[in-house]
Amino acid sequence: MTDGKTCEECDDSRCAARDRREGEADEALRERRALEARMCRIRHKVVVLSGKGGVGKSTVAVNLATALAMAGKRVGLLDVDIHGPSVPKLLHVEGGRLGASENALIPVEVECGPGKLVVMSIGFLLRNRDDAVIWRGPMKLGAIRQFLAEGEWGDLDWLVIDSPPGTGDEPLTVAQLLPDADGAIVVTTPQDVAVADVRRCVVFCRQVKMPVIGVVENMSGYTCPKCGEVSGIFGSGGGKAMAEEMGVPYLGDIPIDPEVVASGDGGAPIVRSKPGSETARAFARIAATLMEKA
């Protein structure tokens, strides 16, 4: 962290972009320095992963980023799901457009005080929200690098990165571009099949040397709003058992809650629309754990 210094004023001898790597071309060094100049102004970087789609990874990313901003933190949320960006919809800023200055992309700001939340997504660059983005690996890498290196993120406490499901190009690119990331939050649902997929995420993190901050079990039990009885529609506890077995921390569970769907469709994450609800409190507890661990 430069504490507001520019690269020229900074004397951080550990800076990854300080020295040219062996055989590194001018262009590659210039790109690496541009990335580092932005990223060293962000204290903590976390990547949200899941083994498979539909487990609520984007919902968790959006609610955690919002909860951190509501706790007074300066937060960036980067949606690198090139094929299915859902963050703009979940935050109700679908019509948003990234601004552009001479050499920077200006993120969309979402009202979320007392902290701040700024967001970048490929969704802000699509003319039509149904436009399919058919990109190969190198193009995805270029887009993610551009979001990170040319995004006018400013000084942030947290950058939360929402990856597409699985362990493909996007999380790999993020892991390579951000070797100093705090780590990954892995989201699962309780069923065996989801838990098996999440195991692969943990193995992936080990291979790319990204620490696992912890596992979140989403859609863990359903509390009847009428009688209060808890029923395990998808079961519960699978994520916790897997975390123990794999030797990674467990961050907590989020219940199934129809309000999560309604608030997603309505555009304000549940931590903001229903802050007193059990589900919002469960997200806030996980955000608090993250802040404690940082």
Closest CB to ligand ADP among residues 54, 72: 54
What is each CA distance from 196 to 135, 189, 255, in whole angstroms? 28, 10, 20
CA distance 288 to 294: 10
CB of 255 to ligand ADP, least distance (A): 6
CB of 89 to ligand ADP, least distance (A): 9
**Distant-in-sequence, close-in-space partners of 168: CB < 8 Å, separation ≥ 6:** none
CB of 241 to ligand ADP, least distance (A): 19
Closest CB to ligand ADP among residues 167, 218: 218
Pull the structure tokens for residue 91.
């935050």
Closest CB to ligand ADP among residues 149, 260: 260
CB of 250 to ligand ADP, least distance (A): 17
What is each CA distance from 259 to 54, 187, 233, in whole angstroms? 16, 19, 16
Which amino acid is it at 276? G
Which residues are 184's β-sheet partners?
Answer: 47, 212
Q: Which residue is nearest to ligand ADP (CB)?
A: 56
Closest CB to ligand ADP among residues 72, 258: 258
CB of 91 to ligand ADP, least distance (A): 12
Distance of CA 240 to the CA centre of its chain: 21
Q: Are 211 and 188 in contact (CB under 8 A)?
A: no
Closest CB to ligand ADP among residues 218, 236: 218
Residues at the site binding ligand ADP, with contacts judged by CB under 6 A: 50, 53-59, 86, 165, 218-219, 254, 256-257, 260-261, 264
Q: Are 71 and 115 in contact (CB under 8 A)?
A: yes
